[in-house]
Amino acid sequence: GGRLLDVGSGPTVYQLVSASRVFPEIVCSDFHKGALAEIKKWKESDACAFDWSPFFQHVAGLEGSSWESRQDQLRSAIKDVVPCDVFNPNPLHPGMFEPFDAIISAYCLESACYDKGRLPYVQAVRNISTLLKSGGHLVLQTYIGVTYWVDKEGNKTPDSLCLDTDFVLKTLSEAGFT
């Protein structure tokens, strides 16, 4: 339990549905103001917000719970929606937060670094690690070997730093994760 930071939330909340059962305090963060605005709209039950109910219904079905109560639980758990810059030594600047019990980051760092190279990726991991309590947990979802997206017309759009498992494991080790 405790406090969870989502680094690079994007305009989404689906990744937090199950986490809200364990973490009563969640902070969403992203570099893009538009993404943050979308999360805020959803949290405030704005009629123009994206409808995440199919995701809640799916999770609630697996858990045997009410999707409405799961949705209310996540809205209550999200305590803040803040800007984040993984290249800043204090990624949540100007915000000041006590270290978090856990951090999740799903497909954020490789996108943030796609045109910057591997050294900025290493620094970004180090920067977000400063936000974690000693003994805390980092859940890092990343692409291995992916460098682009293919759109519906078949065009390749560069969007991701090409990573391999050895590099990611070495980066995590150098940042103090075991």
Q: What is the pLDDT of residues 39-96, one digit of tens each?
A: 999 999 999 999 999 999 999 999 999 999 999 999 999 999 999 999 999 999 999 9
Under a CB-based contact definition with an 8 Å cutoff, are residues 112 and 124 in contact? yes
d(CA 50, CA 38): 8
Is 114 or 165 the better-scoring residue by pLDDT? 165
Q: Identify whether the C-beta of residue 38 lies closer than 8 Å to the C-beta of residue 49.
A: yes
Phi first, then psi, for residue 145 (nearest 5°) are: 80, 10
Instruction: Give the domains, in start order, of the chain with CATH numbers.
Output: 3-174 (3.40.50.150)
Q: What is the mean pLDDT of residues 112-130?
A: 91
Examine the pLDDT at 126 and tell me if it is beyond 90. yes
* Calpha distance 50→178 (Å, rounded): 38
User: Residue 149: helix, strand or coil by DSSP?
Assistant: strand
**21 sits in which H/E element:** none
Q: Is the pTM of this model over 0.85?
A: yes
Indicate whether 177 pLDDT > 90: no
Q: Which of 170, 86, 162 is nearest to 130 (CA)?
A: 86
Tell me the mean pLDDT in the region 125-138.
Answer: 96
